[in-house]
């Protein structure tokens, strides 16, 4: 009969492709049980990885069966997403473990498209995901998510998020007519956004993806200072002008203590649909160079592809319209890298601490 030490040594040779570490030293492997020739154990991932589970299970079973005396091997692989640390002095929101801001500093670089596909990719990998459209003046997520309706309220105090493709969604676009302009000054817009965020009855989310408006003004600053953000994803194109504004977004998050989870380079290249010629319309490698310069993780590069735009306009973004396609694969890779980066962060223990009150004796 195989011993636990033999099995752990064999299983330690299997490396998590997302972290580069083995499951034994990271204590992700739990509950190892040996019953004669039968072996069973659990693996607990800190990030969603539904698409990778079959390959991981196959590698772990093969490693265990390589130990003499092992017959049947049962492996249970599950995901447990934890709440992770946010800015100092900011409390977590009820029902939301991790908030991820998607920002650009500049409009027109595909930030909203990246945000919606990031949310859908996390959901496709098995996470409970919400999407908040934080662009009060130009909400686009109702169209991109293919949702038309108004949120209801079960208690008269909070709003129920609308849902499509397994993602909970809230946007000012659900509350106003499509052609109505939000002619509000900054404080009004900021207050409206806080209400959308805090008065939505989010249902036990692993991740809430926040699609920020372009710029570094009132809305962005309020969210960064008062909303518990686990981290931010920066979207840019390779163009120098776009990178100028991306730098400002990075600087804003750094000043308020929000970690940068990584950078996505959008419209990195264009592949001609007729001849296949690759052309770098907005320059080449600008985002990658900037990420390397600042020590920011480079999450991935997406092409300038007409199908991405058409799918988003039709209310069925790439990750759900063509889930097995090359572009959807890039979005899923970006989502996994974001989730793995979050899983490596320090946990939030604020809910474990008792509330201390000081009373004066009379």
* 138 and 27 within one domain: no
Tens-place pLDDT, residues 308-360: 989 999 999 999 999 999 999 999 999 999 999 999 887 765 544 444 455 55
* Same domain as 152, residue 15: no
Helix (H) or strand (E) holding 30: strand 29-35
The rounded percent of the chain whose pLDDT value lies above 90 is 47
The answer to whether the annotation marks 130 as part of a ligand binding site is no
- pLDDT tops 60 at residue 116: yes
**110 marked as part of a ligand binding site:** yes
CATH, residue 101: 3.40.50.300
In terms of domains, do 200 and 243 share one? yes
**Of residues 126 and 109, which shows the higher confidence score?**
126
> What percentage of the chain has pLDDT greater than the value 70?
94
Final residue of a domain: which of 34, 53, 79?
79
Known binding residue 111? Answer is yes
pLDDT value at residue 132: 94
Contacts of 290 (CB under 8 A, 6+ apart): 236, 243, 246, 247, 263, 296
pLDDT value at residue 273? 76
C-alpha distance from residue 142 to each of 21, 149, 202, 206, 344 (Å) = 40, 9, 17, 21, 32
pLDDT in tens, 33-53: 989 889 999 999 999 999 999
109 is in an annotated binding site: yes
Contact 160, 201 (CB under 8 A): yes
Mean pLDDT of 103-129: 90
Does the residue 308 lie in any domain? yes
State yes or no: 112 annotated in a binding site. yes
In a domain, 360, yes or no: no
Domain presence at residue 42: yes
Is the pLDDT at 231 greater than 80? The verdict is yes
> Is beta strand 162-164 parallel, antiparallel or unpaired with respect to 167-171?
antiparallel
Q: pLDDT confidence of 127, banded at 50, 70, 90?
A: very high
| Structural domain span for residue 211 | 96-343
Flag whether 80 is marked binding: no
What is the pLDDT, as a whole number, of residue 161? Answer: 93
Contact 109, 156 (CB under 8 A): no
> DSSP letters along 271-340, please?
E-TTT--EE-TT-SSHHHHHHHHHT--EEEE----HHHHHHHHTT--HHHHSTTSHHHHHHHHHHHHHHH
The reply to whether 125 falls in a domain is yes
Backbone φ and ψ of 79, nearest 5°: -110, 135
pLDDT class for 215, splitting at 50, 70, 90?
Answer: confident
pLDDT value for 362: 45
Residues 27, 127 within the same domain: no
pTM of the predicted model as reported, rounded to 2 decimal places: 0.89
Gap between the Cα atoms of 338 and 326, Å rounded: 19
Residues 58 and 104 in one domain: no
Same domain assignment for residues 51 and 102: no
Q: Both 113 and 52 in a single domain?
A: no
Do 73 and 155 fall into the same domain? no
Instruction: For residues 220 and 167, state if they share a domain.
Output: yes
Using CA atoms, how far apart are residues 268 and 327, in angstroms rounded to an integer? 12
* Residues contacting residue 133 through CB under 8 Å, at least 6 positions apart: 112, 139, 140, 141, 142, 169, 170, 171, 172, 173, 211
When comparing pLDDT for 155 and 9, which is higher? 9
pLDDT of 262 strictly over 50: yes
Q: Residue 225's pLDDT is what?
A: 80
Phi, then psi, of 265 in degrees rounded to 5? -100, 110
Same domain, yes or no: 75 and 112: no
Q: What does the pLDDT read at residue 356?
A: 47
Length, in residues, of the chain: 362
Sign of CA dihedral 153, 155, 157, 160: negative
Q: What is the DSSP string of 223-265?
A: HHHHS--SEEEEEE-SSHHHHHHHHHHHHHHHHTTPPEEEEEE
95 is in an annotated binding site: no
Same domain, 158 and 44: no
Residue owning tokens 């000012």: 172
Is the domain of 220 the same as that of 295? Answer: yes
Q: Which of 79, 111, 140 is the last residue of a domain?
A: 79
Average pLDDT over residues 293-302: 92
Indicate the number of domains in the chain.
2
Mean pLDDT computed over 118-146: 91
Nearest to 282 by CA among 312, 249, 319, 243: 243
**Is 70 exceeded by the pLDDT of residue 165?**
yes
19: domain CATH number is 3.30.300.130
């Amino acid at each position: 009969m195989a011993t636990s030490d033999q099995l752990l040594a064999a299983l330690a040779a299997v490396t998590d492709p997302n972290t580069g570490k083995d499951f034994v030293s990271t204590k992700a492997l739990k509950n190892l049980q040996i019953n004669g020739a039968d072996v069973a154990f659990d693996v607990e991932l800190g990030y969603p990885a539904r698409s990778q589970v079959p390959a991981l299970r196959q590698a772990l079973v093969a490693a265990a069966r390589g130990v003499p005396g092992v017959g049947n091997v049962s492996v249970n692989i599950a995901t447990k997403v934890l709440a992770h640390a946010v800015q100092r002095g900011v409390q977590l929101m009820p029902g939301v473990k991790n908030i991820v801001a998607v920002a650009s500093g500049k409009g027109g670089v595909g930030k909203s498209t990246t945000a919606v596909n990031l949310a859908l990719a996390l959901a496709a990998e098995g996470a409970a995901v919400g999407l908040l459209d934080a662009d009060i003046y130009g909400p686009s997520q109702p169209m991109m998510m293919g949702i038309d309706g108004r949120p209801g309220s079960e208690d008269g105090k909070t709003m129920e998020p609308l849902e499509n493709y397994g993602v909970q969604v809230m946007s000012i676009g659900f509350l106003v007519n499509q052609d109505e302009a939000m002619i509000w000054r900054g404080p009004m817009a900021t207050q409206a956004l806080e209400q959308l965020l805090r008065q939505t009855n989010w249902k036990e989310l692993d991740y809430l993806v926040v699609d920020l408006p372009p710029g570094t003004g009132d809305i962005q600053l309020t969210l960064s200072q008062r909303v518990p953000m686990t981290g931010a994803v920066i979207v840019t194109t390779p163009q120098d002008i776009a990178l100028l504004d991306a730098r400002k977004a990075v600087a804003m998050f750094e000043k308020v203590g929000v970690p940068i989870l990584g950078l996505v380079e959008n419209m990195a290249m264009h592949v001609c649909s007729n001849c296949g010629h690759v052309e770098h319309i907005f320059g080449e490698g600008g985002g990658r160079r900037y990420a390397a310069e600042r020590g920011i993780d480079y999450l991935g590069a997406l092409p300038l592809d007409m199908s991405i735009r058409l799918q988003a306009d039709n209310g069925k973004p790439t990750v759900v319209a063509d889930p097995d396609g090359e572009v959807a694969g890039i979005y899923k890779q970006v989502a996994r890298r974001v989730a793995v980066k979050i899983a490596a962060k320090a946990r939030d223990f604020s809910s474990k601490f008792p509330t201390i009150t000081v009373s004066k004796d009379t």
